[in-house]
Amino acid sequence: MKRRDDIFKLIAEKTNDLIAMATLGGFFTYISPSHKQLGYEPDDLIGKYSFDFIHPDDKKRLRKLQRRYSPKIVENIITGSGDDIYEKFECRFSDRSGNWQYLETSANIVKSITGKGYDILLISRNVTDRKLYEASIARVNNALVSLGSDFSDNIRILLSACADIMHGAAAVLFNRIEDGIIRTVDHLNTPPDFETADDSKGHVCADIIRTEKKGERVVIKDLQKSKYARTDPHVRRYGLKTYIGCVVYSFGKPAGTLCAVFDKDIDLKESDKRVMSILAQAVSREEERRKVHEMLEISEEKYRTLVENTGQLIEVVDRKGVLKFMNQESAKQLGGVPGDFIGKNIHEILPEQRANEQLEAVRFVIESGKPVSKDFESEFKGEKRWFELSMHPVKKDASVDAVFLVATDITERREAEQTIRRFQDIVTNMQVGLYVYQLMDVDDDRTLTLIAANPAAEELTRVKNESMIGKTIDIIFPQLRRRGIPAMYADVVRYSKKMDFEEVFYSDDRIKETCFSVKAFPLPNNCVGVSFEDISDRKKAEKEVFRSQEQLEKINKELKWKIEELEAALNHIKRLEGLIPICMNCKKMRLDGGSPKDPDAWIPLEKYIMSQTDAHLTHGLCPDCVKKMFGERKVKKKKG
């Protein structure tokens, strides 16, 4: 029982969830250390009335819940029933700084650990970032829905949304670089003496545009200590300390920046950065639309020169589907010149289904006054190409009577996306397990959180991926900590280096003892990829091979000893072989090297054998010699 209590205490003290116990009257009796994320130490809250920290609007709703369950609690107390009372709700809780934090809480009425009465067990998760992101997305959606046909009004709407989302920003601006001059197209919350045009050299926004990486948000802190305190006049003049900006594009090329500046040091949430990117994309669309309108307003010759050299397909179609204008690139795609198609209905030019779809989109743009974007596939000279089509309303006398179509070849981008999907399929279907961890805090390897896993990982560990996603490595695989593996994974992120772990033995109450071969490699956004495979069978086979090799070596040694014994025995054996001279009459043998005429070279047979071999002869009589010497007499044995 004590061990179980120790485990529960360890979980409560190590988890990121906020765990609290309160009396039925609402006074805290236990606070987990995780409340430090709200700025509180446990002693700051123990004994305090929980409702003092709840947002006034949420108190009313929670008191209704309290009244609803009061009869059930009383019944449990009277009857001693153990029926569970459980409720899940959201509320706003004041942190130590006085800011409201959104908590997603589950409340359970449980028997008091003292054994007398009941307490409330509260398990909460801070979902403030999610709530703020949802609110930001809703604000962006409202802004996008409010966009009309006027470019300036739309930019102001988008900047207002940006100012609402970038809480505490000293100013938000949309800047554009034109002929080496940085011009502020529109701005909010700027000081009265703010200058809207300046030499772009040394400005933060100008540098971001020149060194842009598409889709990337740039955040610069400590501006007063950066080079921009010397090169950008706004930084020191207005005491700016933090900058976030996104590049605004026009037809794929950098055209300006959407940025927010702060006169204090702040840590921007990742959700705020993502929303900033969405707004920058919306501004990019407006910038493209502005350029389209400018093209329509310039002289015919300049207009033609411009549209003919964009490399994009450009057309103007009226409400009935009649082609009013087409550039050379668009006509080339259809296998002709503009004169072959201008004045014709698109039903005469395009396949019926595509013509119907395009005419429907044209009429929607004309009637709604809103731009439309879509992708389509077209074939040119036997080669299929993908295009991104942007359709913008063309005004005449304050009314929309035609649509300006701009198609950009996105074949390479589509192919890249398909390649990415193929790699995703490979990762999904490969037999090697793959985990992706994100190091939430670069300085703390305990923040390694699992964000992705492939099916093979689940197959190898027999642990459901969905039960682990979003949890830290110490929660998922607690045994790795004592081997220092989380620290090594964090180093992969910090130093962008690969690591190989040839043998990692792991087991816990879910995973039987298994030997894994593990490779860790760096990924973008402070992530580390971990591929692994089960090599337990291979290791067993290697042990069997090693055991067999030992046995073979033992057999070889014994065989070597036997061979040596045989060779030693053979060394003692002398053999008679070849042609040996023997007297045909007396049967004497001639010694090797002896002269046939030398009487001493001829010796009796028995002496010859004993001199040439290690054999020793004994004398006896054969049956024939016995007959010759003694005749047929029988030798009688004497009795006694």
Measure Cα distances from 267 to 168, 222, 256, 607 in Å: 12, 11, 24, 114
pLDDT value, residue 599: 84
Q: Are residues 42 and 32 in contact, defined by beta-carbon separation less than 8 angstroms?
A: yes
Fold observed for domain 430-534: Beta-Lactamase (3.30.450)
- pLDDT tens profile 446-467: 999 999 899 988 888 888 988 9
Parallel, antiparallel or unpaired: strands 399-409 and 383-396? antiparallel
**How many CB atoms neighbour CB 616 within 10 A?**
8
Fold observed for domain 2-126: Beta-Lactamase (3.30.450)
**Main-chain phi, psi angles of 596, to 5 degrees:** -60, -25
pLDDT range class, residue 92, cuts 50, 70, 90:
very high
Mean pLDDT of 111-126: 81
pLDDT value, residue 211: 77
Residue 99 has pLDDT above 60, yes or no: yes
Residue 578 has pLDDT above 90, yes or no: no
Break the chain into its structural domains and give their ranges. 2-126, 132-296, 306-414, 430-534, 577-640
Burial of 269 (0-12, 13-18, 19+ CB in 10 A): middle
pLDDT value, residue 1: 44
pLDDT range class, residue 46, cuts 50, 70, 90:
very high
pLDDT range class, residue 399, cuts 50, 70, 90:
confident
Residue 83 has pLDDT above 70, yes or no: no
Nearest to 391 by CA among 321, 305, 300: 321
pLDDT range class, residue 408, cuts 50, 70, 90:
confident
Nearest to 93 by CA among 50, 61, 136: 50
Q: Is the dihedral of CA 556, 561, 566, 572 positive or negative?
A: positive
Q: Are residues 16 and 38 in contact, defined by beta-carbon separation less than 8 angstroms?
A: no
Residue 118 has pLDDT above 90, yes or no: no
Highest-pLDDT range among 84-88, 412-416, 428-432, 436-440? 436-440
pLDDT range class, residue 603, cuts 50, 70, 90:
confident
Residue 304 has pLDDT above 80, yes or no: no
Residue 185 has pLDDT above 60, yes or no: yes
Measure Cα distances from 112 to 21, 22, 31, 80, 198 in Å: 9, 10, 15, 12, 69
- pLDDT tens profile 325-361: 888 888 888 888 988 999 999 999 888 888 898 899 9
* Spacing of C-alpha 146 from chain mean position: 37
Higher-confidence residue of 277 and 308: namely: 277
- pLDDT tens profile 222-275: 999 999 999 999 999 999 999 999 999 888 888 899 999 999 998 888 888 888
pLDDT value, residue 544: 82
pLDDT value, residue 460: 87
Gap between the Cα atoms of 475 and 532, Å rounded: 19
pLDDT range class, residue 36, cuts 50, 70, 90:
very high
- pLDDT tens profile 523-576: 988 999 999 988 888 888 878 888 888 888 888 888 888 888 777 766 655 555
Residue 4 has pLDDT above 50, yes or no: no
CATH class of residue range 306-414: alpha beta
Highest-pLDDT range among 111-115, 496-500, 534-538? 496-500
Q: 28 pairs with which residues across the strands?
A: 22
Mean pLDDT of 428-439: 86
User: How large is the C-alpha radius of gyration of the chain?
Assistant: 47
Higher-confidence residue of 143 and 611: namely: 143
Q: Are residues 3 and 108 in contact, defined by beta-carbon separation less than 8 angstroms?
A: no
Which range is least confidently modeled, 285-294, 496-505, 612-621?
A: 612-621
Burial of 83 (0-12, 13-18, 19+ CB in 10 A): exposed
* Spacing of C-alpha 460 from chain mean position: 18
Nearest to 63 by CA among 38, 89, 33, 43: 89
How many Cα atoms sit within 13 Å of 90 on the Cβ side?
8
How high is the mean pLDDT of the chain?
84
Nearest to 526 by CA among 498, 492, 480: 492
pLDDT value, residue 213: 61
pLDDT value, residue 93: 94
Fold observed for domain 132-296: Beta-Lactamase (3.30.450)
What one-character-per-residue DSSP string does 45-70 give?
A: HTTSBGGGGB-HHHHHHHHHHHHHHH
Gap between the Cα atoms of 280 and 174, Å rounded: 9
Q: Which two tokens stand for residue 62?
A: 């929670």
Q: Are residues 77 and 70 in contact, defined by beta-carbon separation less than 8 angstroms?
A: no
Nearest to 202 by CA among 222, 223, 217, 187: 223
How many Cα atoms sit within 13 Å of 402 on the Cβ side?
15
DSSP 483: G
Gap between the Cα atoms of 375 and 313, Å rounded: 13
